[in-house]
């Protein structure tokens, strides 16, 4: 089992999209998964509610938790579930810091057109601090909403930039998710793109990410 966090300081980068898709894909493998929503906006919980109201199987347990008790609550949940997926973030979020303190893996989505060196440096420092308390923590950056237009070189540019800067605590993932309407549609319907079955490319991207996060099982 692993405690996996989808987080970051910046808003709207795809944290909830990734967390909900991973949770659904784990559940489709028969895993007993807890989706932990630590964001007061409640986007992941809303997704889980839509899923429940539409009687979508497999069922996914989702709870909202905030504040100081988060660390002990996550540890407690980890004893009761096969997998924990945490959605955390927002500027100066205490929940993101607590979640980093208790997670095994943190995945930080960034959008190639939106990222800046300051954000990455800040995440690098935050992970550094969290690793002082949590030996297990490994952190990764995942490119989300990259352009589907091959003429736009943003992926190559981001990779080159990353190599040059050499953030010590952040690894850039091979998987890339592109800007596709199906990610929005699936989110609205309480589904993963894999369950929506409408967009082969989105399914392929999300499956590759899933494999990179959870291994080839």
Shortest reach from residue 141's CB to ligand ATP, in Å? 13
Candidate ranges 38-46, 130-138, 168-176, 192-200; the one touching Mg ion (CB under 5 A): 38-46
Cβ–Cβ under 8 Å, residues 153 and 110: no
Residue spans of alpha helices (H) in the chain: 15-28, 43-53, 70-80, 94-102, 117-133, 154-165, 181-188, 193-196, 200-214
Shortest reach from residue 119's CB to Mg ion, in Å? 16
**Contact footprint for ligand ATP (CB under 6 A):** 11-17, 39, 41, 43, 89-90, 144-145, 177, 179-180, 183-184, 187
Report the residue number, 82 or 173, with the smaller CB distance to ligand ATP.
173
d(CA 52, CA 67): 26
The number of residues in the chain equals 217
Residue choice 43, 138, 147, 208 for contact with Mg ion (CB under 5 A) = 43
Interaction between residue 20 and Mg ion (CB under 5 A)? no
Shortest reach from residue 34's CB to Mg ion, in Å? 17
Shortest reach from residue 107's CB to ligand ATP, in Å? 11
- Nearest of 18, 99, 32, 29 to residue 60 by alpha carbon: 32
């Amino acid at each position: 089992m692993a405690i996996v966090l989808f987080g970051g300081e910046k808003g709207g980068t795809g944290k909830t999209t990734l967390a909900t898709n991973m949770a659904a894909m784990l559940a489709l493998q028969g895993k007993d998964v807890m989706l932990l929503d630590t964001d007061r906006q409640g986007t992941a919980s809303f997704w889980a509610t839509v899923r429940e109201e539409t009687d979508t199987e497999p069922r996914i347990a989702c709870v909202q938790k905030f504040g100081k008790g988060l660390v002990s609550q996550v540890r407690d949940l980890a004893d009761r579930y096969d997998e924990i997926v945490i959605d955390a973030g927002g500027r100066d979020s205490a929940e993101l810091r607590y979640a980093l303190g208790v997670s095994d893996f943190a995945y930080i989505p960034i959008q190639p057109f939106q990222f800046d060196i300051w954000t990455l440096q800040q995440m690098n420092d935050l992970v550094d601090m969290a690793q002082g308390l949590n030996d297990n923590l490994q952190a990764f950056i995942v490119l989300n909403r990259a352009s589907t237009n091959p003429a736009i070189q943003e992926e190559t540019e981001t990779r080159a930039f990353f190599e040059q800067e050499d953030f010590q605590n952040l690894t850039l993932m091979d998987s890339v998710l592109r800007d596709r309407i199906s990610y929005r549609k699936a989110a609205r319907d309480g589904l993963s793109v894999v369950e929506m079955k409408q967009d082969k490319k989105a399914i392929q991207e999300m499956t590759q990410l899933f494999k990179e996060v959870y291994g080839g099982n």
